[in-house]
Amino acid sequence: MLNKLIKKIISWFGYKLVEKNYIKNRRTLSKNFFDLDKILNHIFSNNLAKNIIQIGANDGKRFDPLNKYLIKYETKTIFVEPIKEHFEKLKRNYSNKNNCIFENSAISDFNGHTEIFKVNENNLNLYDDHIAGISSFQKNHLIKHGVKSKHVSSDKVNTLTIKNLIEKYKINNFDLLFIDVEGHEGRIILNFFQSINIRPIIIFEYIHIENSIFDKLIKELDSKNYFYSKFDENLVCFPEDKKDLFKLSNP
């Protein structure tokens, strides 16, 4: 009786208790089920990603699931990173890799310049390592991750649309579009669909995208005949015309 009363009171405040077995079962399942790394292993081992655009490449190593595959396999890759200090590390970390292009810009749905917020280099040691990878067009994004306002600075960065990026480097086709830009992914992909006819595999972090933008994006993926599923914090999107190439088996 008391448990029911507690659940009812909690529901009044808009919360819901999650059944503990559900949490434990999901944890058990995640040990053996497909995750992003297994998806990437399938893509690269089956030679499905020879030409890649990575937007939000950071330093090329920090929490980057692509890194080990880009080192192992021969690919042509465009790395895009707006933060200058990350960009310089990115170039050094891939200095031994051939067929690389490095673009020190932010990708958005407009061309020009904008302000991007980051943690001051002098204060990075006060936070977990992942904080260096959460630079954003929105200052509040950093605050929500526990960064103190006084530790946030901003850079004025160059912005390109993905169409301009592709035209700049005369890209006729590519296989994989990988995006991790702390919530701006939706606008980039919507702009991509509106301006480009290329149909790559698309992998992007979806958890920070504004819901209204995400709803539009899902409708656009449906209209473009993409299959999609979430893995970890990412959405993996595969065009219908390439579905026969994407046959997975759980090893």
Return the pLDDT at 27. 63
pLDDT tens digits, 127-140 = 988 898 899 999 99
Domain ranges of the chain: 27-109+159-245
- For the record, the structure tokens of 173 come out as 């086709």
Place of tokens 């932010």: 106
Please, which residues bridge with residue 51 across strands? 76
pLDDT at 250: 46
* 66-85 pLDDT tens trace: 999 999 999 999 999 999 99
Please list the alpha-helical segments (H only) found in 94-210.
139-144, 162-168, 185-195
Q: Give the up-direction half-sphere exposure of residue 159: CA atoms within 13 A in the CB hemisphere.
A: 16
User: Is 27-109+159-245 in CATH node 3.90.950.10?
Assistant: no
Angstrom distances, CA of residue 166 to CA of 42, 48, 52, 56, 182: 26, 20, 11, 16, 22
φ, ψ dihedrals at 75, nearest 5°: -135, 160
For the chain, list residues with pLDDT below 70: 1-33, 243-251
| Structure tokens belonging to residue 11 | 């529901």
Instruction: Supply the pLDDT for residue 207.
Output: 93
Q: What is the pLDDT of residue 198?
A: 96
**What is the pLDDT, as a whole number, of residue 244?**
66
In the chain, pLDDT over 70 holds for what percent of residues? 83
CA distance 77 to 198: 16
pTM assigned to the model: 0.85
Measured CA to CA, the distance from residue 153 to residue 172 in angstroms comes to: 37
Token pair 């005369």: residue? 170
H or E segment to which residue 160 belongs: strand 152-161
* Res 19: pLDDT: 56
